[in-house]
A and B are shown apart, each in its own frame.
Chain A
Amino acid sequence: MVDITMNGEDITVEDGKTVLHAARDNDIYIPTLCNHSELSPYGGCRLCLVKIEGFRNYVPACTTPVSDGMVISTSEEGLNDLRKGILELILSEHPSSCIVCDERDECLELHGESTKAGRITGCRFCPNRRSCDLFDVVEKIEFNDFRIPVEYKELPLHRADPFVQRDMSICILCGRCVRVCEEIRGVGAIATVHRSHDTTIGTAFDQPLTDSGCVFCGACLDVCPTGAISSKTTRWAGVPDETVTSNCGMCSNGCRAVMQFKWGKFTNVEPVQDGDNWGQVCLRGRFASVTTVNSPMRLEYPKVRTGDIQQPVNWEKALDAVVEGLKAYSPDEIGVVASPFMTSEDAFLLQKVFRSIGCENIATASKMIGPLQMAWRGQVDRITSIGTRDDIDDADAILIVGSDLSLDNPVLQTRVHKAAEKGARTFIVTEHPHNAYRGADVLEEPCPTGLMEDVIAALDSAGSCEGCSGDGDHEGGWAGTIAHTLMAAERPVIMLGQEPFAVEEDGVAVSSLILKLFKAVSGKALLILWDGPNVQGLMGSACVPGIGLDGELLKEAGPNKPPLGDGIKALLLTEPVSDIPDGVEFVAYMGPYPFDGIERADVILPTCTYADSVGTIVAMDRLVGSIETRARPPTMAKRDFQVLMDLGGRLGAEGLSNIEDPYDISTSTFVDYHIGKHIKEMDVSADCGPVDPSSPVNPAGKWISGPLRYRGLDITEASEDLGAVVRKWGWTE
């Protein structure tokens, strides 16, 4: 602690804090523009200048650490004039009508409406939509005296990039975007370029963002204090009339995010600053989500087949048609597919409805569960990640197998970057190396089984390598190097992605190697990057064969009739499958989007997305999150929950009467399941054997999953920009 004097008051401040921190902690206002709490201090905008005794010149509060006995004035004579002078210079190149115009008050009333101008010539058209730091500073220091000529920079608009538009004419060069990209995301796609008055923010050689290494996380847009960088999808939407903090439902990372709505329409996603995702979201969650949810492809009407035609009908008729259709078959002939995009409650309800009519043929549309069950049962009590994402932050070695993080769980890269900055060596083994984290050793491997076998084989010699710190290269090439690094590490973290599960046998092989490796190196965390946002949740919702409601793996033999297997004649799908078997006679599909093969459906029940649903999901590191959204579903679409309740009623399912909303299910039924907390972790040391080899597992099969899918929909169809990006990154499905 150090003692300082600020504006005549004696205050005590924690060592290492800056003058700005000290001021803020004591409610003393100092204007800032370039400063950002999550970024390194910059000292560029010069608005936070203060007077400190002993310094010849004014010094920036944001970069100056306090020291004992410092005597500071934040408001002495002349300082405010200097700040106004600097602000005047900034504003002389910035559209400032909203700031100094006589009619600003009237104008501000309309300010929140949707933007109609591509180029910003006045704050009315600014895409920043009223969250303007510049504006706030002008208000606070009461700037109103403009005396120097105004001159806009008139730089060309950057409109050709996916997702974002850049209008550097209104950039104030605070450098926040550059810092967030470099420091938090570890990308460094943009930089300060040119010099003198021509200084601006851009990419190297002015190349498009798609060539600059940009991951389209949109972090720059969040920190930009002006509207210089804006989201193409939302810049037209105006100020939201409703916002709610909810979970993103795109991938298993389960980011908390602020969902924004206007007139019942989903308009934008922004990260939660202090959430588990470090104030970050990703390209799918922020950009592709909005166009996916608002896609014109959304199913709008319940439909029933008559002859060759799927005829729009009302809900009564559609639900009756389902009941009718199913009644023609014995429960044994009915198959049910649960979508890993559904909430845990909806999934529970789904199986409950069908189990109550005696149907047990229920499985989850995930490619990962089955192989993991086959590889791990007998060694573990349940299948979950071990540890949490926080363990990445202070890992000293990281191995990621089967994912480059760029599309599935991109936000994790911020943590990997943090660990790498602190010295953790990181290996990424993936078939999509093109945009993987630049701070890692990236190994292109279409199938990692061979490499993993070599790593395991190298473990023995690595264990006996004396004084090994894991640095540098080792005998045995990459396998040796990975083995040495993990062995030498004290807190190694291993992540398993979805790539190897494209082929069932590879999935089984890699799963068992990963577990072996994890045990051998005494890993700190093992994170399974599931192929859907709620795969983990569905394992605890009785939607996976061989796993009980409490998430425990079953050891005994049991009925194992895959919902798409022989003898199935009727299907209820909540997630599309790539190939409906010929023997199936009746298909009911419930979901938000059409799919290849929807012609086979006899009944179509249009449901909702995560932007218009309610419930909980479980992220890849076992964290329970809640979906709480406000979008108005298109036309006649209904939430899965509502449809299942209605259907259950008609099918005579029991125990539904005391369920009013989804949370009635989670609170009364799920074990150790609380929003914001982690569910029980898998135990690798438990005595789990023996397991009856014929005990059921989730069928591997014709599941369509992958980072480019949302409830079966190829989201590059809903978001052309996403398509452009992933093609550039070398992805083809």
Chain B
Amino acid sequence: MAEDLKVQIERAEEVWNTLQAKGDVIYLGTASCGIAAGIRQVSEAITEHLSTGDRDVELVEVGCIGMCCFEPMIYVQTGAKAPVVYGGLEPKDIPKLLDGVYGGDYENDHLLGVIGDGFDGLQSIYDHPMVAPQKRIITENAGLSDPVDIDHYLARGGFKGLERALSMTPDEVVDEVLRSGLRGRGGAGFPTGRKWALCRAAEGAPKYMICNADEGDPGAFMDRSILEGDPYRVIEGMIIAGYAIGCDEGIFYVRAEYPLAIERLEICMAEAEKRGFLGNNILGTDFSHQLTIKKGAGAFVCGEETALMASIEGKRGMPRPRPPFPAQKGLWGKPTNINNVKSVSSVPSILRAGADWYAAVGTDSTTGTAVFCITGKINHTGLIEVPMGITLKEIVEDIGGGVANGRSFKAVQTGGPSGGCLPADKLDLTVDFESLTAAGAIMGSGGMVVMDDENCMVDVAKFFISFTQYESCGKCPPCRIGTKKMKDLLEKITVGKGEDGDLETLERLASTVKAGSLCALGGTAPNPVLSTIRYFRDEYEAHIKDKVCPAKACRELIAYTIDAEKCTGCTLCARNCPTSCIEGETKEAHVIDTDACVKCGMCITSCRFDAVHKIDSPPSQCADEGQGGGD
């Protein structure tokens, strides 16, 4: 068996080295983010431009390197030199850029760095401020190789973890994962090795291994990036898990909105089977393992493991109480192990480099790395992988490049819709399961949203609770009704109808929902509300007592006005106003009729002289009167 793998690796390395040595290659970042940003158009421009010259350039599609704010990106490799990364491209930039590069002039506004060591005075991309503090384990291949080319994967160390695992007993593999300290990245941080051991020990057959790629959090796309950028890694992880636990079948539960991820998984599963890594008698051993894909219909709650299993069984995706745990009674009533994509993807590296190597990364309680999607009011948005134990400050200021547009930092929200909002004085917190939870946030599955002083925290809380309310499966009253009541109260506060006692009612409701809900959707739904009340209570009080929104974000509590001093009378705002409620002669100061104003903000966006401002305004009196009903 080892013989066969060795041959395969040698051949793969040859393929890889040939590509590296081949003079002219352009790598195209074609993950979903790249496609959305326009890589296809850029790629057409490249082909068109190349057709005019006689350079023989190979185009290779690669995944996402994580610097999403710079998409679309290409890496241009010339001669024997390492590829140079350019980002933020438009088709029109291509002719000039390629002419320059091929003429030996690498520098321009789009330059980001060299993949590998810098040369000719060019900086390595690994020294780029967004990349330098990162530690790439799960994403080590992402964006650097053709995701569906199994030789690329093999040449970069792929399937060595599987090879080592198969040379060990399943118990040894479980033990290795246990010693690595790996904790589930799906949110709860349960030790993966322990979970495997439980399922391995459980009585019953067949056993199932499920990879949870439902990823329903708004703004989260880590799992998608990994599946698109390095599908073989996830497949290898699944096979190792299947071997360790003793599963006959593995299932990828992928949301149907991820067609590219599904397509790549399908291609790679077929290829892996052809090469003997999957299917019967893997790598010549007695171990056989099948993998299938099940598409999820896109409900957030279907990411919850019991709902996920119900969904695979063709039932309504509603969670059920545990115990019995999936390891005891899972899919079709059989012992089942469920892991997140990132947990599964960590496994090949752990097996390849050893538990000790992995455990050395991160903190004592939380080893390894964390993958985050950083978004919001920040300069560098994208997908990052950082060692556990890094501070939030490093992420926001160094990797993220600080708050965008010169505004000031207000809060960072971690953990997706059920996470918490942490203020500036919590930025020194280290990233690990315990410290985030203690501060009222959660690790969650890896969303991170940065907010600036224009974000109203009451409004933010309302936004998140509206999401969880909408996604509630409706099975249990605390979540179904409780989140609705919380949302209603927040609505009431943001329109300036808040009353004394509302905060206390909110807190009371939050504790009922938290303690009473069946699954973690309800159990964590109040987090954004509780954490904002905890850290930004004065903002709530301003809404309730003074009927003002300090961030000037709550529409009912603000008015738009034009500063006569600054207004040049250019009429631009008046022409953009959808309700035509701005009056004024050309070259004279304009005035907004606040009664007719719908507060859409078009005037602010269109004004070039910073003359339009938001000011506090009493809530409108004619809005609907409170709640109806009653006996």
* Nearest A-chain residue to B631, judged by Cβ: A97
CA distance A690 to B470 in the complex (A): 77
Would you list which residues of chain B between 601 and 631 have a CB under 8 Å from chain A? Answer: 626-631
Q: Are A197 and B476 in contact (CB under 8 A)?
A: no
Chain B residues, Cβ within 8 Å of A58: 515-516
Which of A85, A88, A95 is in CB contact (< 8 Å) with B631?
A95
Instruction: Kindly supply a per-residue 1/0 record for chain A positions 191-202, scoring 1 wherever the CB is within 8 Å of any chain B CB and 0 otherwise.
Output: 110111111000
Q: Take A49-B516, A89-B512, A151-B629 as given contacts and tell me if A191 and B316 are in contact as well, using a CB distance cutoff of 8 Å.
A: yes
Which of A59, A60, A148 is in CB contact (< 8 Å) with B509?
A148
Q: Are B631 and A96 in contact (CB under 8 A)?
A: yes
B70 CB to closest chain A CB (Å) equals 37
Chain B residues, Cβ within 8 Å of A92: 481, 485
Instruction: Kindly supply a per-residue 1/0 record for chain A positions 301-313, scoring 1 wherever the CB is within 8 Å of any chain B CB and 0 otherwise.
Output: 0000000000000
A657 CB to closest chain B CB (Å) equals 63
Q: Are B472 and A197 in contact (CB under 8 A)?
A: yes
Instruction: Kindly supply a per-residue 1/0 record for chain B positions 464-507, scoring 1 wherever the CB is within 8 Å of any chain A CB and 0 otherwise.
Output: 00000111111111101111110010000000000000000100
B35 at the interface (CB under 8 A from A): no
CA distance A86 to B474 in the complex (A): 14
A77 CB to closest chain B CB (Å) equals 13
Q: Are B472 and A46 in contact (CB under 8 A)?
A: no
Q: Are B477 and A196 in contact (CB under 8 A)?
A: no
CA distance A59 to B523 in the complex (A): 12
Would you list which residues of chain B between 49 and 100 have a CB under 8 Å from chain A? Answer: none
Q: Are B321 and A59 in contact (CB under 8 A)?
A: yes
Chain B residues, Cβ within 8 Å of A191: 316
B536 CB to closest chain A CB (Å) equals 23
Which of B324, B471, B476, B518 is in CB contact (< 8 Å) with A196?
B471
Chain A residues, Cβ within 8 Å of B299: 195
CA distance A142 to B475 in the complex (A): 25
Q: Take A196-B470, A197-B474 as given contacts and tell me if A85 and B516 are in contact as well, using a CB distance cutoff of 8 Å.
A: yes
Chain B residues, Cβ within 8 Å of A402: none
Which of B324, B470, B473, B627 is in CB contact (< 8 Å) with A151?
B627
Q: Take A46-B517, A192-B316, A196-B471 as given contacts and tell me if A122 and B512 are in contact as well, using a CB distance cutoff of 8 Å.
A: no
Chain A residues, Cβ within 8 Å of B626: 149
Q: Are A44 and B475 in contact (CB under 8 A)?
A: yes
B323 at the interface (CB under 8 A from A): yes
B627 CB to closest chain A CB (Å) equals 4
- Of B470, B477, B484, B631, the most chain A CB neighbours within 10 A belong to B477
Chain B residues, Cβ within 8 Å of A57: 515, 523
Chain A residues, Cβ within 8 Å of B156: none
Would you list which residues of chain A between 44 and 94 have a CB under 8 Å from chain B? Answer: 44-46, 49, 57-60, 63-65, 78, 82, 85-86, 88-90, 92-93
Chain A residues, Cβ within 8 Å of B485: 89, 92, 148-149
Instruction: Kindly supply a per-residue 1/0 record for chain B positions 295-330, scoring 1 wherever the CB is within 8 Å of any chain A CB and 0 otherwise.
Output: 000010100000000000000101011011000000
Which of B323, B508, B518, B629 is in CB contact (< 8 Å) with A152?
B629
CA distance A88 to B511 in the complex (A): 13
Report the interface size for chain B: residues with CB under 8 A from the other chain. 41
Chain B residues, Cβ within 8 Å of A458: none
A101 at the interface (CB under 8 A from B): yes
Would you list which residues of chain B between 430 and 488 have a CB under 8 Å from chain A? Answer: 469-478, 480-485, 488
A121 at the interface (CB under 8 A from B): yes
CA distance A191 to B310 in the complex (A): 14
* Nearest A-chain residue to B628, judged by Cβ: A151
Q: Take A46-B517, A93-B481 as given contacts and tell me if A86 and B512 are in contact as well, using a CB distance cutoff of 8 Å.
A: yes
Would you list which residues of chain A between 96 and 110 have a CB under 8 Å from chain B? Answer: 96-97, 101
Q: Take A63-B321, A150-B629, A152-B629 as given contacts and tell me if A194 and B474 are in contact as well, using a CB distance cutoff of 8 Å.
A: yes
Chain A residues, Cβ within 8 Å of B473: 195, 199
Q: Are A199 and B478 in contact (CB under 8 A)?
A: no
Q: Take A147-B505, A150-B630, A151-B627 as given contacts and tell me if A43 and B478 are in contact as well, using a CB distance cutoff of 8 Å.
A: no
CA distance A147 to B505 in the complex (A): 8
B439 CB to closest chain A CB (Å) equals 18
* Nearest A-chain residue to B318, judged by Cβ: A192
CA distance A149 to B301 in the complex (A): 27
Additional A-B contacts beyond A44-B518, A57-B515, A59-B323 (17; CB < 8 A): A43-B476, A43-B518, A63-B323, A85-B508, A89-B512, A90-B477, A90-B481, A92-B481, A101-B631, A173-B480, A192-B474, A194-B474, A195-B472, A195-B474, A196-B469, A196-B470, A196-B480
Interface of B toward A, CB cutoff 8 Å: 299, 301, 316, 318, 320-321, 323-324, 469-478, 480-485, 488, 505, 508-509, 511-512, 515-518, 523, 626-631
Which 9 A-B pairs give the minimum distances between C-beta atoms? A199-B474, A85-B512, A43-B321, A97-B631, A89-B481, A149-B627, A197-B484, A63-B321, A152-B629
Interface of A toward B, CB cutoff 8 Å: 42-46, 49, 57-60, 63-65, 78, 82, 85-86, 88-90, 92-93, 95-97, 101, 121-122, 147-152, 154, 172-173, 175, 191-192, 194-199
